[in-house]
Structure 1
Amino acid sequence: MKTLLIYPPITDPTSGYHSLSYIESYACSKGFNDIDIMDTNIEALHYTMQPEESERIIKGIEKRRIYLENKGQLNKLEELELYYSWKAKNFDNSKLRTAIDVLQDEDKFYDYSLYRPAVEIISSWVSIITLLGFPGQFNGFSVPVNTHFNLYSIGDLTNEDVINRVSNPFVGYYNNVFMQYLNSNNYSVLGINVTYTAQLPFALYISNLVKKEHPELKILFGGTAIADVWKYIIDKKRFFEIFNNVDACTVGEGESAFVSILTNVKNNEPLSPTANVLLHPKYGHEVKEHIPIKYENIEELPTPDFNKLPWEKYLSPHPYIYYSPSRGCYWNKCTFCDYGLNFDSPTSPWRQYSLEKIVEDLRILSKNYKFIYFSVDVLAPAMLLKLAQRIIDEGIDIRWGAEIRLEKYWSVERCTMLKQSGCTAISVGFESGNQRILNLIDKGTKIEQVKETIKHFTEAGIGVQMMGFTGFPTESLEDAMDSVNFLYENKHNWTFGGLGTFVLTKGAIVAQKPKDFGISNVKSYKGDDIAWQLYYTNTVGGYDEDEEILVKGKGSLRKNHFERPWVGGVDSPHTMFYHDVFGTQIIDEIIKPNNLIEMEKNKPDLTVYLNGVVQKGIDKYPVDKLFNESSFAQFVNKYRDNGVGLDSKEIKGKLVNDLKFPEESNKDTKYFLRNDGRLFPFPKKMLEFLEFFNNGKTLNDAMNTLDFSNAELLSLFEYSVDHHFLTYVSINSEKDLLVSM
C-alpha cells in the first residue's frame, strides 16, 4: 500500500516544515514503509519561475494590461488589476535564476548587498503571479484571511470559482507535474498537511482535483489549520461542507490517528472512528460537537527522518530542520493565549522528552543537519541548561534556536553555556513594556527583569528576537507607548522583532471572562462562519483617535527590511543563518551595504546602479490615483473594524459598480518603481537623477554630467541610498552579478 503526503502552497520557501516528516517517521515505525513526501509548495513556486513558464505568464499579463489600459471605463477591481499589471510591465524574468542562485549559494547568501536584491526579485515575482488569481492575493508567502475573499466564510471556502481562482497561479504545476506524478503511481492514500490558514484554499483545490480523477483514493487532511477550523467553526455540523472531497480529517496530534487510518485502508476495512479523527458523514458517522481527543506519549515517538524533503529546492544555502522536544507550555497561564486543542487552559497539556531522548535525537540529526530550530511553545529552563551541557560534553556540532520565557533564571553564565552549545538566537514573547498590562496578561515577569535578561543573552553573543503586541484590553496610549519606549531604550540588546496587534480568540481567558478585562459585546464577526477572531468593544482604555502616534512609534523600531521568511523575520531560517555568521552585530551587516556615502569618500569612482526602474505612466489612468493594495486594505478593514467580514460576492458587489473614467493626463508622466514593487511618484528632477544611474554610473559621472549643483547631487544621492533607490549591486538580465567593490 502506497501513501503520498504533500505540503501545499503557499508558505515559507526557504525550508521544509517538520509535520509530514514526523508523521511519516511514526508510520514507518509501525510498519508502513511505502510513504512518499512531496513539498508542492516549493515545487509549484519553482515551476512558475522556469524560463518558459515565467515568459508565458508575463505575456498573458501584458496582453491583459494593454486591454485594461485602453478600456473606456474601469471598476475598482479592474483598477487594482491594472495597477498590479502596470508594475509588472518591465519585470525581467531572466533575473529569477540569478536570484535563486544567490539564495542557495553559501558565499553569495551572506553578502547582504547581493541577498537583498535577490529577495526583492523573488518577492516581486510572487506579487506578479497574483495576477493569475486575485490581484494582490498574496502577502509575501501568505494569504490574508480577508482579501478578495474570506477564509472564515464557508461560502467562499466551498465556492469552486473562488478556490480555482486563488489556486490559478500554480495550475500549470498541478496539471503538468503533480497530477502526472500522481497518475503514474498507484497510491491508496493521499495525506495533505495544512499548517497555516493561507494553505487552506490550495489544499481544497488539490483535493477537489484529485477526487475528480481518483474517486477511489482516500484523502486525509491534518495540521494546525484543520484543527483550528474544527475548534472555531460555529456550527460543527457544517464542517464537511468545507471538506466535502476529504474522507477524514485529523484534529490535534496526528501520529496515532494517521496509523489507525492506514491500518483500515491496508486491511480493506471501512474507515472507523478513532481519537482525533473526523470521518466524512458518507461513512455513516454523525459529525458530533465533541470527539475523543488523544495526546501522544511523545517519549515513544521515533527520531524524525527528514531525508525525504527536497533540500536542493529550498531557497537557502543550508538545510534547516524543525525539531519538537516538547508539546504544550509549562507556564500555560497567559490570558491572551489560545493555542492547540486546549479545552480548559491556554495551550494543550505540557509534555517534554527526557534529556536522554533529546540528546540521542540530536546526535542522529546532527549527522546531516547543522541548523536546528526547537519548534515548541516554549522550553523549560532547567532542561535546556542540562541539554546545553550535554551537547558541549558530547561534541554535538549544531546551531540551534528556540522560543523561551524570559525567566530570572538566565544569568550571564547560563546564557554563555547556551552559546557554547550552539545557540545562535532565541525568540521571546516579552508581550508588553507596561507592568500593569503584563500583570493582566498573567505573564509572570517583571519589566526590569526582562531588561536584565535580554542584556545577559546579548552579552553572551546570542541574538534576541523580541515579540510583543499593543491593543490588549484596557490599554491606554501611554501604556502602549511604554512598549515602544522599552524596545527603543533597549534596542542594543535585541536584533529583530517588534510589536503586533492583539487579536481575541474564543479559547483565550480574556474571551471567557470579558468583564475582568474591560470588554463587552464579544461576538464573531458578521459573515464569519469560522470564528477564528472575535469582535469586541472596549469599555476601558483604547486610543483609536491617537492610533497614528502609536503607528509612528512602532515604525521607528523597525530594523529589518523584510519579514518572514527572509532575514529579519523572527525565527526564520535565514535569520538564524545570519545570526550564526554575524552574531549580535547582524544589524551592522544589514546597514553596511547602504553606507555608500562613506564608500564614495574612499572610492569616488564607485559604480552605482538604479535599484528599480523609471517607468512611463498610463495615458488614460494616472497610476498613483488607481485603486491599489492600500486602498483595498482600507476598504476591507473598514468593515472588519465594525464587526463585519465580507465574502467574495459582497466585495465584488461593492466594487464593480464603482467606475473610473479616463482622465486627461500628461503623457510624459513617469514614476519610480523600486525592485521590491513599491511605487514612488517623484518630481521630474528626482526622476531625472535616478534615471541617470540606470545602467551604472559613479557620483563623479553625475557631477560632471547633470545640471545639478554639487550640494543638490549629494543630497539626492544620500536620500536615494538611504531609501535603497541606489545600490552598488545589480542583478542584470544576463544572469551576472555586477558588483562595484
Structure 2
Amino acid sequence: MKVLLVFPPQWTPFRPYLSLPSLYAYLKDKGVDVIQKDFNLEAYDLILSEGYLSGISQQLRNQFSVWELKDRLAPGTEQKQYNDLFMAKTLAPLLAGKIESAKNVYRDPQKFYDPEILADARNTITQALQAVSLAYFPTNIGLSSFEMPSFKGSFQDLKQATQNRLENPYIQLGEEYLLPLVRDEAPGVIGITISGESQLIPALTMARLLKAGNKKAHIVIGGYVVTMLADVIVKYPELFDIFFDSAVVNDGELPLLELIRSVEKGGSLFNVPNLIFRDAAGIHVTDKKPPEDINALPPPNFDGLALEKYLSPEPVLPVLSSRGCYWSRCAFCTHSLAYGMTYQVRDPVKFVDDIEFLVKKHGVKHIALSDEGTSPNSVNRIADEILRRGLDVRCSTSIRPERQFTPELCRKMAAAGFREVYIGIESSCDRVLGLINKGTTTAVNEEVLRNMCQAGIWDHVYIMFGFPGETMAEARRTFSFIAQNKDIIRSLGISNFSVGRNSRVMKNPGDYGVTLPRSTEDTDFKLYLPYLVSGGLTDIQGWELTAECLATVATQLAGDAFLEKIGHHYDKACILPQYLSHYEKTDPLLASIVKMKKPARKKTPKKLSAASMPALKPGVVMERLHFNLRAVWENIQNKRAEPVYPDESWSLFDIERNRFKRISDSGAEMLSGWNGKRPISAIARDLARKYRLPLREVERECLDMAQSLIDEGYALALP
C-alpha cells in the first residue's frame, strides 16, 4: 500500500520543514512505500507566477469597478480597500512580468548576496502576495502567514472557511494541482502535518478536498497544532465526516507506522497508540506510548523534495539533535507538549553522522538545528565531533542563555561552524523573568550575548512584552537594555505575550492574575486565547510596546536595520545564515554590508523644446477615477475619520514609488498624446486646431506641463 505525506500551506518557502523528511525516513526504513509532497512550496510557486498574477488582474479590476459605483467611501476600511484595490489592480500586470525574476534572485548564487537586488526582489514578492490577498479580501497571505478574518475560531467558522471560494485560494489550488496527484498515486493512507496555526485553514481545506475525492484513502492529520487541539477534536464528531479519519498526537513515527499496518490489514485502530478516531460507537482516544528512541531513528530523508525550488541559493537542511526542551518550565510556552513533555538527546556521534551523511548526499553546507533549545553540553559535544572530523559546515541553532556558554565554548562553537544562535531572553527585568519561570537573570543574559558576539557568532534575540504582571517601567527597562547593549545584540525578534492553548498560564490563570473568557465553542480552534489581567500591562499595551520597539529601539541595531530590508520576521532566520557564511572571510558580522547603498543622485532634467517627444515613465499610469485618490490616501495616512464623496478626476499613479498626482481634464488630454514618438509641437498643433486656440499659447502649456512632470519624475523626454 502506498502512503502519501503532505506538508500544506502556509509556511515559509525558504527551506524544507523537518516533519515530513523525518517521517518519510522512518517509514522508508520500515519498508513502507511512501512519497512526500511539500505542497506549501508548490503553492507559493504557483501563486507567485506570471500566469497566476495575470489571472487575478481581471478579478482585481472587477472588484475595483464595484467600488467605483459607490456614492461615498466611509472612513477606515472602505477607503483603505478602495486605495489598496486600485494599487493592486494597477500593479498586478507589472508584477506578473517581474515575479519569475524576483524568485530567481533568491535562487541565484550571485544576485542573492547583493542586498540591494535581494531587497528589490523581496519587495516584488511582497507586493505580489498583497495583490493576491486583495483578490481574496479580507484574507491576508504573507511569506510566513495566512489569516482569514472571517474565521473567528468556531467549528462553524472552520467549515465555512474551508469551502469559501471567495476568500480561500487553496480550494482552487487543491482541486487543480493536489487532487490530480492523489488520483495518479492512489495512496491508501494520506498524512497531513499541521505544524503552525497559519496552516490550519489551508491544511483542512486540503483534507476536505481529499476526503471528498478519495473515499478509499484513510486521511490522518498530525503535528504540533493537532496535539494542541487534541481536547477540541474529541468534541466534534463531524470533523471525522468532513475532514479526516484519524488524528495523531505527539511524536508521529510509531503511531503512523502502526496506523498504516492496521489500515493495510483492515485491523483494529485500537491497537494504534496516540490516536484519535471515530467508529460507529463514537470517538476514541487510544493509549499513549512513549516516542521511539531518538537514537534508533534514521537521519531525515529529503528525497522527492525539489530542493532547488526553495527560495534559497543553496539548500539549508533542518535536523534535530534533541526532541523536546530540557528546561520546559516557561509559563508561556507550549512547544514541549508536542513531544508529550518528553526530552531526548541524540548521541552527538550519531548526530554528526547525520550531518555528514546529508552533506555528502546533497552537497550542502548549511545545517539548521531545529531543536527547541540545544543545551550547552550538547553543543559542546557536537562541536568537538565536528572539529574532530574536520567537517566544513555552517550551523544555526536555538539556545537558552546559560552560564555554561562560556567564552571558551562560544569560540569552540564558532570554530565548528556555528554562525548564528537564536536566544530567548524575553525580558531584562529579573522580577519578570521570575514570573515567567525563565530560570535566568539579566546578568546571565548579557554575559551570554557578549560571549557569543565576541566569538563572532550572530545572536538573534527574542524579547516579549506584556507578560501578566509586567509593569510599564519594567518593559521600558528592556528597551534600555537593548539600547545599552546594541554592540552585542545583532538583531531582534519582538512579540507581545499571548495565552497559548495548554500553556501553564492557560491551565492556571489565577496564579498569574489572568482571567480567561468563559469556555465557549466560539474559540475552540484558536491556539491563542483572549485574556484580561488584574495588574500590569494589558494585551493592547503589549501590542503597542512591540510596535514601538520595532520602530525605535530595533532600528538602532545595525544588523536589524539591514535585515528589515532583505527579510522580515521568520524569513530573517532563513536568509541570514547564508549571508554570514558567504561574507565570513571578509565581513564576519556583516559590518560593512549593513550599510545599504545610497540612492543614486538625481540627474538634472534637460530643458525641453517643441521638438522633444514626451512619454510617461514605465510604471506610471493615468486613469480617470470616480473618487479623488489623493484625498483617500491622505485620509488613510493622517487617520482622518472623514468620508470621501465622488469627485471624478484624472490621476497619475507612479507604481514604483507609490505616489499620486491629480491632473485636470485638459492635462489628461495633453497626456493622451504622449507616446515618445510625437513631438510637443505636433501635440500642441492638434489641440490648437481642435479647440481653435492660439498655437503658441497651447505649445507653451504643453511645454510647461511636460517640464513639470519630468522634473517630478512622472515622465521622460526622448531625443
TM normalised by structure 2 equals: 0.81
Question: What is the alpha-carbon distance in structure 1 between the residues aligned to residue 186 and residue 513 of structure 2?
Answer: 58
Query: Could you say if the C-alpha distance between residues 463 and 391 of structure 1 is closer, same or farther in structure 2, counting changes exceeding 3 Å?
Result: same
Where 1:5 maps in the other structure, the secondary structure is strand
Partner of 2:179: 179
Partner of 1:414: 409
Question: What is the alpha-carbon distance in structure 2 between the residues aligned to residue 551 and residue 191 of structure 1?
Answer: 38
Q: CA deviation at 1:341?
A: 2.7
| Aligned 1:116-195 pairs, distance under 5 A | 116-144=119-147, 147-150=149-152, 152-159=153-160, 162-168=163-169, 170-195=170-195
Question: What is the alpha-carbon distance in structure 2 between the residues aligned to residue 285 and residue 524 of structure 1?
Answer: 23
Question: What is the alpha-carbon distance in structure 2 between the residues aligned to residue 433 and residue 547 of structure 1?
Answer: 18
Residue 4 (1) aligns with residue 4 (2):
yes
1:112 and 1:589 in contact (8 A); partners too? no
Residue from 249, 252, 257 that aligns with 2:250 = 252
Q: Which deviates further from its counterpart, 505-514 or 539-548?
A: 539-548
| Aligned 1:289-688 pairs, distance under 5 A | 292-341=288-337, 348-367=341-360, 368=362, 369-520=364-515, 523=518, 527-530=522-525, 532-542=527-537, 551-556=547-552, 557-558=554-555, 559-560=560-561, 566=567, 569=570, 572-582=573-583, 588=591, 591-596=594-599, 619-623=625-629, 663-665=645-647, 667-669=649-651
Larger Rg: 2
1:123 and 1:140 in contact (8 A); partners too? yes
Superimposed CA distance per residue, residues 17-48 of structure 1 (whole angstroms, 9 cap, x where no aligned partner) = 1111111111111111x211111111122223
Q: CA deviation at 1:588?
A: 4.2
Q: CA deviation at 1:682?
A: 8.8
Percent of residue pairs identical? 23
| Structure with bigger RCO (C-alpha 8 Å, 6+ apart) | 1
Superimposed CA distance per residue, residues 556-591 of structure 1 (whole angstroms, 9 cap, x where no aligned partner) = 114246679936647622121122224586564554
Partner of 1:688: none
Where 1:497 maps in the other structure, the secondary structure is strand
Q: Which deviates further from its counterpart, 488-497 or 48-57?
A: 48-57
Query: Could you say if the C-alpha distance between residues 545 and 90 of structure 1 is closer, same or farther in structure 2, counting changes exceeding 3 Å?
Result: closer
Residue 44 (1) aligns with residue 43 (2):
yes
Q: CA deviation at 1:373?
A: 0.9
1:102 and 1:108 in contact (8 A); partners too? yes
Q: CA deviation at 1:425?
A: 0.1
Question: How many equivalent residue pairs?
Answer: 648
Question: What is the alpha-carbon distance in structure 1 between the residues aligned to residue 635 and residue 18 of structure 2?
Answer: 33
Question: What is the alpha-carbon distance in structure 1 between the residues aligned to residue 634 and residue 31 of structure 2?
Answer: 54
Q: CA deviation at 1:413?
A: 1.9
Query: Could you say if the C-alpha distance between residues 529 and 464 of structure 1 is closer, same or farther in structure 2, counting changes exceeding 3 Å?
Result: same
Superimposed CA distance per residue, residues 187-226 of structure 1 (whole angstroms, 9 cap, x where no aligned partner) = 2121111111211222222222222222111111111112
Superimposed CA distance per residue, residues 595-649 of structure 1 (whole angstroms, 9 cap, x where no aligned partner) = 34xx759x999xxxx9996666873334477699999xx9xxxxxxxxxxxxxxx
The one-letter amino acid paired with 1:292 is: K
Query: Could you say if the C-alpha distance between residues 124 and 47 of structure 1 is closer, same or farther in structure 2, counting changes exceeding 3 Å?
Result: same
Partner of 1:21: 21
Q: CA deviation at 1:297?
A: 1.8
Residue from 107, 111, 123 that aligns with 2:110 = 107
Partner of 1:722: none
Q: CA deviation at 1:185?
A: 2.4
Q: CA deviation at 1:12?
A: 0.6
Q: CA deviation at 1:423?
A: 0.4
Where 1:304 maps in the other structure, the secondary structure is coil
Superimposed CA distance per residue, residues 369-391 of structure 1 (whole angstroms, 9 cap, x where no aligned partner) = 32111111111101211110110
2:321 and 2:348 in contact (8 A); partners too? no
**Unmatched runs of 5 consecutive residues or more in structure 2:** 606-615, 664-675, 677-705, 715-719
Partner of 1:642: none
Where 2:219 maps in the other structure, the secondary structure is strand
1:411 and 1:453 in contact (8 A); partners too? yes
Question: What is the alpha-carbon distance in structure 2 between the residues aligned to residue 263 and residue 417 of structure 1?
Answer: 46
Superimposed CA distance per residue, residues 169-199 of structure 1 (whole angstroms, 9 cap, x where no aligned partner) = x455433332222222232121111111211
Query: Could you say if the C-alpha distance between residues 515 and 218 of structure 1 is closer, same or farther in structure 2, counting changes exceeding 3 Å?
Result: closer
Superimposed CA distance per residue, residues 206-262 of structure 1 (whole angstroms, 9 cap, x where no aligned partner) = 22222222211111111111212225x3x7321653773311111111000110111
Question: What is the alpha-carbon distance in structure 2 between the residues aligned to residue 294 and residue 397 of structure 1?
Answer: 36
The one-letter amino acid paired with 1:577 is: Q
Question: What is the alpha-carbon distance in structure 2 between the residues aligned to residue 316 and residue 382 of structure 1?
Answer: 31
Where 1:286 maps in the other structure, the secondary structure is strand
2:349 and 2:385 in contact (8 A); partners too? no
Partner of 1:651: none
The one-letter amino acid paired with 2:205 is: Y
Query: Could you say if the C-alpha distance between residues 137 and 568 of structure 1 is closer, same or farther in structure 2, counting changes exceeding 3 Å?
Result: closer
1:204 and 1:243 in contact (8 A); partners too? no
Query: Could you say if the C-alpha distance between residues 3 and 251 of structure 1 is closer, same or farther in structure 2, counting changes exceeding 3 Å?
Result: same
The one-letter amino acid paired with 2:576 is: T
1:15 and 1:316 in contact (8 A); partners too? yes
1:252 and 1:340 in contact (8 A); partners too? no
Question: What is the alpha-carbon distance in structure 1 between the residues aligned to residue 110 and residue 660 of structure 2?
Answer: 36
Q: Which deviates further from its counterpart, 328-337 or 558-567?
A: 558-567
1:477 and 1:550 in contact (8 A); partners too? no
The one-letter amino acid paired with 1:383 is: S
Superimposed CA distance per residue, residues 114-169 of structure 1 (whole angstroms, 9 cap, x where no aligned partner) = 0001011111111211234234422443123x62322x22111112665544432x
Question: What is the alpha-carbon distance in structure 2 between the residues aligned to residue 8 and residue 14 of structure 1?
Answer: 14
The one-letter amino acid paired with 1:593 is: M
Q: CA deviation at 1:417?
A: 0.7
Where 1:25 maps in the other structure, the secondary structure is helix
Superimposed CA distance per residue, residues 633-671 of structure 1 (whole angstroms, 9 cap, x where no aligned partner) = x9xxxxxxxxxxxxxxxxxxxxxxx9x986143724556
Partner of 2:275: 277
2:8 and 2:199 in contact (8 A); partners too? yes
